[in-house]
Amino acid sequence: MTTPMNRQGRPTRPEEILDRGAKPATFTGNRALDIEEPLVFELGDRQRSGVDLPRPTSVKSRLGDIVRDKPIGLPGLSEPETMRHYVRLSRNNYAIDSGIYPLGSCTMKHNARLNEKMARLPGFADIHPLQPVSTVQGALALMQTLSGYLLELTGMDGVALSPKAGAHGELCGMLAIRAAHDAAASDRSVVLVPESAHGTNPATAAFMGYSVRPLAARDDGTVAVETVREALGPDVAAIMLTNPNTCGLFEPEVREIADAVHEAGAYFYCDGANFNAIVGKVRPGDLGIDAMHINLHKTFSTPHGGGGPGSGPVVLSKRLAAHAPLPFVVRDGDRFRLVEHEEQARSALEHAQPFGRLTAFHGQMGMFVRALSYMLSHGSDGMRQASEDAVLSANYIRARLRDLFTQPFGDQPCMHEVLFDDRFLAGTDVSTLDFAKAMIDEGFHPMTMYFPLVVHGAMLIEPTESESLASLDQFIDTMRFLAEAARNGDKERFAGAPYLAPRRRLDETLAARKPRLTWSEPKLDEAAE
């Protein structure tokens, strides 16, 4: 006689669980580990505090007329409540450690844990910019070494580490160009910028008071040297050209363009956002470039910011090296010192004419440590392979999607990013934005949308060298699935997407015209409802 299995207690077989639908209503509004998290002000109670402090004794205020005349209004939460709030919010973040980041021209690649370990060494993590120079010799030596490697990789002659981001680096490079013209008593007032350029390029030029003269691209997405020659004149101070450009293509006539610009007495500024595609393959200095910023997070595997401001070092040609800004590091025998004044600069370097100072201190030490760790751990051959793999990954995506997606400049090899337009969505009532929102439901961060502006409905995809073949295939298969769904008339999948994210799609017009950027305490009658 067999004894039947005891089926008391919790069900053990899936079919015994009642079918309550895909999304049962919950009392809390939470859905398992997807927790509905209110604002911290909504969680907190103004009548309590997470910290109990003794009331201060009578002390005469020295704040004068800036003394606070009403309660600060901070929400009162206990330490566990506060911790849980921010941990829960963090679980809704998408990061490179969560999945692929296909952002074109933004290069969100894996941040190696070795780099993080080095950045946390006490000798680097615990120093302060106002320490005596004698106590930070190791940090200065690291900065000098990093500078040397950047010069070697780019074929340039001068470097400035102080810029804190790409746009800041652009300003630095253009200020060096302005200083060179000023030294030659030249009052040139025009900067040439391709129409496909990143928006910071014309913005930087305009910020400095230059007039921007746009350059049209050819049918293949690149700039012709003839177009540049026609735009050059005695009023042109510089050209700002990205190579590889923002369409993901290498400018084949970059050397000829540089020669034409120099013959006209102008300088060549290169946006270094896409340097990750050519490291170890070609040196920008050999292409005739005079100034270029390098986003350390894009090329050398540092996080965005990394705990503080980012870092956008600028490398300068021999024509501009003398105008590098303060401060900079020089070596005296076996010691290093920080040059912070123009008099010191002229005595340290024979022809130094720094244009001034961009910031009080250098860019961010943690970024320098991470970038140098990446360089040393990879070596020249490893960095070259990283560039090759980044280009290979982008072309793999292009090859596997070209039968469904449309390319604005024809089916030609790309560099580290591949560009599609929205012609493949014609007649589907699905836009690029709709497509991107549907990708969120599939668990992907969308690609860069509507950039560059010269391409209608642009989808710019940069897989980087960090992704495995399996990761790329899953991304590609998802893109193909969504493209076929759009073509097959499944408009509902896209119209309200994302359906599965913690928050639904905004009314973008209303959000732009009537944004709610701050929390306001509800009125009493509203609170009572």
Average pLDDT over residues 346-374: 89
Q: How many CB atoms lie within 10 A of CB 482?
A: 24
396 and 327 together in one domain: no
Distance CA 223, CA 239 (A): 12
Separation CA 375–CA 17 (nearest Å): 55
pLDDT of residue 18: 42
Given a cut of 50, whether residue 20 has pLDDT beyond it is: no
Confidence of residue 14 (pLDDT cuts 50, 70, 90): very low
Query: Structure tokens of 110?
Result: 């894996």
The yes-or-no verdict on residue 419 having pLDDT over 80 is yes
Residues 206, 212: Cα–Cα separation, whole Å: 7
160 and 234 fall within a common domain: yes
Task: Kindly state whether residues 364 and 383 are assigned to the same domain.
Answer: no
Contacts of the segment 405-413: beta carbons below 8 A, 24+ positions apart:
405/459, 405/479, 405/483, 408/221, 408/247, 408/455, 408/456, 408/458, 409/219, 409/220, 409/221, 409/247, 409/249, 410/220, 412/220, 412/249
The answer to whether position 35 is within a domain reads no
Would you give the DSSP letter of residue 284? G
Residue 240 and residue 131 share a domain: yes
Q: Tell me, yes or no, whether 396 lies in a domain.
A: yes
Matching residue, tokens 């990446």: 374
Return the pLDDT at 404.
98
Contacts of 91 (CB under 8 A, 6+ apart): 33, 35
Can you tell me the distance from the alpha carbon of 28 to that of 38, in angstroms, rounded to the nearest whole number? 11
**What is the extent of the structural domain holding 291?**
113-373
Q: In sequence order, what are the residues at sequence separation of 6 or more whose Cβ sits closer than 8 angstroms to the Cβ of residue 335?
A: 137
Instruction: Give the CATH number, domain containing residue 394.
Output: 3.90.1150.10
Is residue 452 predicted with pLDDT exceeding 80? yes
Per cent of the chain over pLDDT 90 is 69
Phi then psi for 80, rounded to 5 degrees? -60, -40
**AA identity, residue 126:** D
- Residue 521 falls within a domain, yes or no? no
> What percent of the chain has a predicted confidence (pLDDT) above 70?
94
Q: Which secondary structure element, helix H or strand E, spans residue 483, and what is its range?
A: helix 469-487
31 and 60 in contact (C-beta within 8 Å)?
A: no
Q: Are residues 326 and 434 in the same domain?
A: no
Mean of the per-residue pLDDT values for the chain?
90
Strand pairing category for 335-339 and 418-420: unpaired
Shared-domain flag, residues 318 and 388? no
* Domain boundary residue, one of 373, 403, 423: 373
Lowest mean pLDDT among 53-57, 165-169, 246-250: 53-57
**Residues 345, 392 within the same domain:** no
Q: Are residues 263 and 409 in the same domain?
A: no
**pLDDT score for 387:** 97
pLDDT, residue 202, reads: 96
Q: Which pLDDT value is given to residue 23?
A: 64
Residue with tokens 């004068």: 64
Domain count, the chain: 2
Report which DSSP code applies to 522.
Answer: P
Query: Are the CB atoms for 458 and 451 separated by under 8 Å?
Result: yes
Helix runs in 197-320, H state only:
200-207, 225-231, 254-263, 296-299
Domain end point (choices 339, 373, 407): 373
Residue 263 phi/psi, 5° resolution?
-60, -30
